[in-house]
Amino acid sequence: MPMATSTYHHGDLPSALRAATVELITERGPTGFSLREVARRAGVSHAAPAHHFGTSKGLLTSVAAEGFRTLVEAFDAAVEGRHDPIDRLNAMGKAYVNTALNHPGHFGVMCTDELIDQSDAAFVEASTGAYQRLLDGITAIRDAHNPNLDVDAAATMTWSAVHGYAVLHSALPGVAEKNERVLATMEETMNSFTQMMMDGYRAR
Amino acid sequence: MPMATSTYHHGDLPSALRAATVELITERGPTGFSLREVARRAGVSHAAPAHHFGTSKGLLTSVAAEGFRTLVEAFDAAVEGRHDPIDRLNAMGKAYVNTALNHPGHFGVMCTDELIDQSDAAFVEASTGAYQRLLDGITAIRDAHNPNLDVDAAATMTWSAVHGYAVLHSALPGVAEKNERVLATMEETMNSFTQMMMDGYRAR
DNA sequence: ATTTTCTGCTTGACAGTGTCAAGACATGAC
DNA sequence: GTCATGTCTTGACACTGTCAAGCAGAAAAT
């Protein structure tokens, strides 16, 4: 019997279920997720989650929203004390990849459109906040370096590149290795990304 | 009884199962995939797939390899007749996204590391071929425009950006809309990507 | 203080799933 | 013909998500 912390029987079952979900996905991947196993780990019956989250989609959506909130925190912490726009965007990119790699349980469901309900209010608020940080960062670069920069296109490419890198992070080494290529570390790669996004492929 | 086309009882059950898998994933997404439903659609018993592919992972791996082979074909068709390196890479990028969007059944499993067996020989061969095309394309740009270009870093960023864009394609509009942003079409976006990858965010 | 209502959770059932073992059965070799 | 081989079926197992019903304890009403 855990000491009931605040609310009711269990204390805070929704949070416990989210935590168990994250733990489970971290261990076994999004595929290995099972509502009943989550209930088991939280010490409740197999139908308890349904009472709080409806279907399993509801639980995963809640986890995804939590993930976006931690991402926003990581963004804010990363730019803390930095003033150069390029430096800030670089830090945000690293924060994104680090968050993705350090929170695979969250990240694995954050950007899927069939595991979660993208129209969920809490999810929309959290994900919108993250996107807004990115737009702000790129707008600052536009103002400082290039008034003609298409902020939306740049935001799409930046998010895509960083997200794609995080997604492919486990797949790329294998493929590169077969082509007898050695890939740089995440830090170095992200620095290269930043430089290329500023200067492009062409020699300046 | 279908007229046995070539080989044995069914004709070519492995191909039929791959086709049914692609159809099913296209309809219901990777999550909606079910080995038994695939068997049903192919008109065989629920355990028939296991005989050819072992577990469901084996079947999905085979589908992923098929996807990479069509991707390679799309790459080769896209650069056909083009000679400017930048133009060729741009065409490959569009081919990648088009292939991803037009073959969701394949794409949904191609870059996952838990649904498939990345060490499968046929899969390695197909995915390696695709990566080699990308490396060749970027090497050509290095030779033509910037001898100091880090080909590996550029390849990683390019693949990441294009892959991320394809993955996020269904999620981005929703997020952008909440931020009251209007996103461009795929063609326009890819052209912007190409230009930014060449010239960067800074004004030249 | 007793009753009622309601919320949080449990129990039991249902159809569906992947995988395994055993068997059927057409085909090819001999 | 007999035999073996590779292809597929049948049946079983433990497991899954979801639903309906019921239970128990907290809160509210009386």
Q: How far is the CA of B7 from the C1' of D8 (A)?
A: 14
B47 in reach of chain A (CB within 8 A) = no
Residues B72 and B162 in one domain: yes
Which positions in chain A touch B193 (Cβ < 8 Å)?
153, 157
Mean pLDDT of B161-172: 86
Together in a domain, A144 and A99: yes
pLDDT score of B5: 37
- Domain match, A3 and A64 both: no
Q: Quick check: B201 pLDDT over 60? A: yes
| Angle, alpha carbons A25-B29-A68 (nearest 5°) | 45
Could you tell me if B8 lies within 8 Å of chain A, comparing CB atoms?
A: no
Q: What is the pLDDT of residue B194?
A: 95
Does the structure show a pLDDT above 90 at B184?
no
CA angle A77, A80, A82 (to 5 degrees): 135
Asked if strand D contacts A55 at the CB level, meaning under 7 A, the answer is: yes
- My answer on whether B20 and B38 are in the same domain is yes
Contact B157 A192 (CB under 8 A): yes
In the predicted model, what is the mean pLDDT of residues B167-180?
79
- A47 CB and strand D closer than 7 A: yes
CB of B12 nearer than 7 A to strand C: no
Q: Which nucleotide is nearest to A42 (CA to C1')?
A: C9
Flag the least confident range among A103-107, B39-43, B106-110, B173-177. Answer: B173-177
Same-domain check for residues A108 and A143? yes
Mean pLDDT, chain A, whole residue set: 91
The confidence score (pLDDT) of residue B7 equals 40
The verdict on B55 touching A (C-beta cutoff 8 Å) is no
Q: What is the pLDDT of residue B57?
A: 96
SS (H, E, C) chain A: CCCCCCCCCCCCHHHHHHHHHHHHHHHHCHHHCCHHHHHHHHCCCCCHHHHHHCCHHHHHHHHHHHHHHHHHHHHHHHHCCCCCHHHHHHHHHHHHHHHHHHCHHHHHHHCCCCCCCCCCHHHHHHHHHHHHHHHHHHHHHHHHHCCCCCHHHHHHHHHHHHHHHHHHCCCHHHHHHHCCCCCCCHHHHHHHHHHHHHHCCCCC
Task: Give me the pLDDT at residue A147, please.
Answer: 95
Domain boundary among B36, B54, B72: B54
Q: Please answer yes or no on whether A165 and B165 come within 8 Å at the CB atom.
A: no
Residue A182 shares a structural domain with residue A119: yes
Q: Are residues B128 and B141 in the same domain?
A: yes
* Minimal CA separation from B49 to chain A, in Å: 20
Average pLDDT over residues A180-190: 89
pLDDT digits (tens, 9 = 90+) for B34-43: 999 999 999 9
In-domain check, residue B204: no
Q: Which nucleotide is nearest to A50 (CA to C1')?
A: D18
Residue B86 pLDDT more than 90? yes
- Of the listed ranges A5-14, A58-67, B146-155, the one predicted with least confidence: A5-14
pLDDT of residue A19: 96
Taking an 8 Å cut-off on Cβ atoms, the answer to whether B165 and A167 are in contact is no
Indicate the pLDDT class of residue A170, thresholds 50, 70 and 90: confident
pLDDT digit string, tens, across residues B11-41: 789 999 999 999 999 999 999 999 999 999 9
Whose CA is nearest the C1' atom of nucleotide C25? B9
Whether residue A204 is contained in a domain is answered as no
Query: Half-sphere exposure of residue B22, counting CA atoms within 13 Å on the CB side?
Result: 19
| Residue after which a domain boundary falls, among B54, B69, B98 | B54
Domain end residue (candidates: B33, B54, B75) = B54
Q: What is the pLDDT of residue A113?
A: 82
Q: What is the CATH number of the domain that holds B36?
A: 1.10.10
Domain span at A124: 55-199
Write out pLDDT tens, residues A93-135: 999 999 999 999 999 999 888 899 999 999 999 999 999 999 9
Domain membership flag for residue A92? yes
The chain A residue lying nearest B166, using CA atoms, is: A160
- Establish if A77 touches chain B: CB-CB under 8 angstroms: no
Q: Are residues A8 and A61 in the same domain?
A: no
Q: Is the pLDDT confidence value at A144 over 50? A: yes
Within a 10 A sphere around the Cβ of B56, how many other Cβ atoms? 17
Instruction: Check whether residue A111 and residue A29 sit in a common domain.
Output: no
The Cα–Cα gap between A85 and A143 comes to: 9
**pLDDT score, position B10:** 67
- Does pLDDT of A70 surpass 60? yes
3-class SS of residue B89? helix
Confidence band for A180, pLDDT divided at 50, 70 and 90:
confident
Q: Which nucleotides of D are covered by protein (CB under 7 A)?
A: 6-12, 15-21, 26
Mean predicted lDDT score pLDDT of chain B: 90
* Confidence class for position A10, pLDDT limits 50, 70, 90: low
Express as a percent the part of chain B with pLDDT over 90.
Answer: 79
| Residue A174 at interface with chain B, using a CB cutoff of 8 Å | yes
Is the residue at A31 inside a domain? yes
In a domain, A96, yes or no: yes
Question: Is the pLDDT at B108 greater than 80, yes or no?
Answer: yes
The total domain count for chain B is: 2
B116, B195: one domain: yes
User: Domain check: are A124 and A38 in the same one?
Assistant: no
Contacts of B176 in chain A (CB under 8 A): 131, 152
CATH of the domain at B69: 1.10.357.10
Same domain? A104 vs A194: yes
